[in-house]
């Protein structure tokens, strides 16, 4: 069902947004819709709380909670908000205002998008329930077949970036079932809906978060116009998730613009029709956004000494030395490189607690989706696709 928008609310990003929902602060500042918004360090993630082409259960809420400055929560009439958007996007990206107007005239609010975004969050599943949503024999077999079919292209990307071929395949498997479900929503309609009509719960305690999410989607709508100009895309024809993520890797427009690369050398970055571009772009995201280290480990199982309490850092940056972790009772159960730093990861397994040490490359996966369980699921799926044994859930 479609309906008209009557009020604008500012929008923004928080850590529960879908995968690849990368923040673009400079863009928000340029919009100038509600006065000057001070600089803030939003954290991405890509790809996916309300996962766009994965099982519907939201990913685990991220522990990273950057301090954000206050925003004006006062509603603005839709007509004013829309006019401001056209003016600011035109000035920001050098796109004629008439062109923006003509495209927005084709956009409508989708009640289905509002409903999907306003669904109550499910409880955070424990690891032994979460993992089967991502790792099944069918998904492993599908990944192995996909890897075998595209081995040459994936090996070239691995040689160039250091990102393993099986990890790129695992991301595609988790995000879109190897390209089988890239989304059925109009990207323009989805972003237009969430930018100007983000759902409100009516809970005053949630208002600022809802405002910030709306602000994020507003910026992504502006980024979509820039993307269409840069890549010669008919943005009114693009299909994706209800949150506006696109292609096999489910890139939001800002992530597409910043991290997509031309893998086949045809002068365009096509995440819809070029597998070479898709493979290269996912790997580039890991390198540029996540700081991927070639030929380095991702994670290692560990033990926690009897009587010691699990250490749960505020975020998953791998800043703790093995000596520091040993003092807290952690020990890897397999050899790891000397001098490496890690973050401890605790999971609720079917047979009791599981302990891991996550290294820089584990952290890189969390940049795609800020969830320790998402990162572990992608890593273990990649290992299974490569024919390596993985532990039980």
**pLDDT tens-place string over residues 142-201:** 999 999 999 999 999 999 999 999 999 999 999 999 999 999 999 999 999 999 999 999
pLDDT at position 124 is 87
Residue 120 has pLDDT above 80, yes or no: no
Residues 246-254, mean pLDDT to the nearest whole number:
97
Name the nearest CA neighbour of 290 among 24, 44, 21.
44
Q: Answer yes or no: is 83 within a domain.
A: yes
Q: Answer yes or no: is 343 within a domain.
A: no
The DSSP code for 370 is S
Asked whether the beta carbons of 282 and 168 are under 8 A apart, the reply is yes
pLDDT at position 38 is 29
pLDDT at position 77 is 86
- Mean pLDDT for the chain? 86
The DSSP code for 75 is -
Tell me how many domains the chain contains. 1
Instruction: State the pTM of this model.
Output: 0.83
pLDDT at position 234 is 97
pLDDT at position 328 is 97
Q: Answer yes or no: is 128 within a domain.
A: no
- Dump pLDDT digits (tens) for 62-108: 444 556 678 888 888 889 989 999 999 999 999 999 999 999 999 99
Residues 226-249, mean pLDDT to the nearest whole number:
97
Query: Could you tell me the two tokens for 162?
Result: 């250091």
Q: Answer yes or no: is 329 within a domain.
A: no
Asked whether the beta carbons of 28 and 219 are under 8 A apart, the reply is yes
Q: Using CB atoms within 10 Å of the CB of residue 53, give its burial: 0 to 12 exposed, 13 to 18 middle, 19+ buried.
A: buried
Asked whether the beta carbons of 152 and 68 are under 8 A apart, the reply is no
- Reported as a pLDDT band with limits 50, 70 and 90, residue 39 is very low
Q: Answer yes or no: is 9 within a domain.
A: yes
Residue 51 has pLDDT above 70, yes or no: no
State phi, psi for 349 to the nearest 5 degrees: -85, 165
Asked whether the beta carbons of 23 and 90 are under 8 A apart, the reply is no
Asked about 101 being catalytic, the answer comes back as: no
> Cα–Cα distance between 218 and 28 in angstroms, integer?
9
Q: Answer yes or no: is 25 within a domain.
A: yes
CA distances in angstroms from 194 to 118, 202, 245, listed in the order given: 11, 16, 13
- Reported as a pLDDT band with limits 50, 70 and 90, residue 34 is very low
Q: Tell me the percentage of the chain whose pLDDT exceeds 70.
A: 83
Q: Answer yes or no: is 213 within a domain.
A: yes
Q: Answer yes or no: is 45 within a domain.
A: yes
Residue ranges making up the domain that contains 32: 2-121+184-236
How far from chain centre, in Å, is Cα 192? 19
* Annotated active-site residue in 175, 210, 214, 220: 175
pLDDT at position 361 is 98
Question: CA end-to-end span of the chain, whole Å?
Answer: 41
CA-atom Rg of the chain in angstroms: 21
Asked whether the beta carbons of 246 and 182 are under 8 A apart, the reply is yes
pLDDT at position 66 is 54
């Amino acid at each position: 069902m479609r309906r008209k928008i009557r009020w604008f609310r500012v929008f923004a990003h928080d850590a529960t947004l879908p995968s690849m929902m990368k923040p673009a602060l400079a863009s928000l500042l340029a919009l100038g819709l509600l006065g000057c918004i001070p600089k803030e360090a939003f954290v991405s993630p890509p790809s996916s709380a309300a996962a766009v082409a994965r099982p519907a259960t939201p990913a685990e809420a991220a522990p990273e909670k950057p301090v954000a400055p206050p925003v004006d929560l006062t509603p603005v009439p839709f007509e004013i908000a829309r006019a401001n958007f056209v003016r600011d996007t035109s000035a920001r990206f050098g796109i004629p205002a008439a062109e923006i107007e003509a495209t927005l005239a084709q956009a409508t609010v989708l009640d289905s998008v509002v409903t999907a975004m306003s669904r109550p969050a499910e409880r955070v599943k424990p690891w032994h329930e979460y993992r089967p949503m991502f790792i099944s024999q069918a998904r492993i077999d599908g990944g192995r077949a996909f890897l075998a079919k595209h081995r040459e292209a994936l090996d070239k990307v691995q040689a160039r970036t250091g990102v393993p071929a099986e990890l790129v395949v695992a991301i595609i498997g988790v995000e879109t079932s190897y390209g089988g479900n890239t989304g059925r929503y109009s990207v323009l309609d989805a972003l237009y809906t969430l930018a100007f009509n983000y759902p409100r719960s009516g809970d005053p305690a949630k208002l600022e978060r809802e405002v910030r999410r709306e602000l994020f989607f507003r910026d992504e709508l502006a980024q979509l116009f820039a993307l269409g100009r840069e890549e010669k895309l008919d943005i009114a024809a693009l299909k994706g998730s209800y949150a506006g993520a696109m292609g096999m890797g489910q890139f939001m427009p800002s992530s597409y613009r910043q991290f997509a690369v031309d893998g086949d050398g045809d002068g365009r970055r096509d995440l819809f029709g070029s597998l070479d571009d898709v493979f290269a772009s996912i790997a580039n995201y890991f390198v540029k956004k996540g700081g991927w280290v070639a030929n380095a480990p991702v994670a290692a199982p560990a033990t926690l000494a009897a009587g010691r309490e699990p250490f749960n850092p505020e975020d998953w940056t791998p800043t703790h030395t093995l000596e520091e972790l040993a003092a807290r009772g952690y020990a890897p159960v397999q050899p790891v490189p000397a001098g490496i730093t890690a973050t401890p990861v605790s999971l609720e397994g079917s047979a009791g607690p599981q302990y891991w040490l996550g290294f820089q490359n584990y952290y890189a996966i969390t940049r795609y989706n800020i969830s320790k369980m998402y990162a572990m699921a992608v890593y273990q799926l990649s290992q299974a696709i490569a024919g390596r044994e993985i532990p039980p859930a």
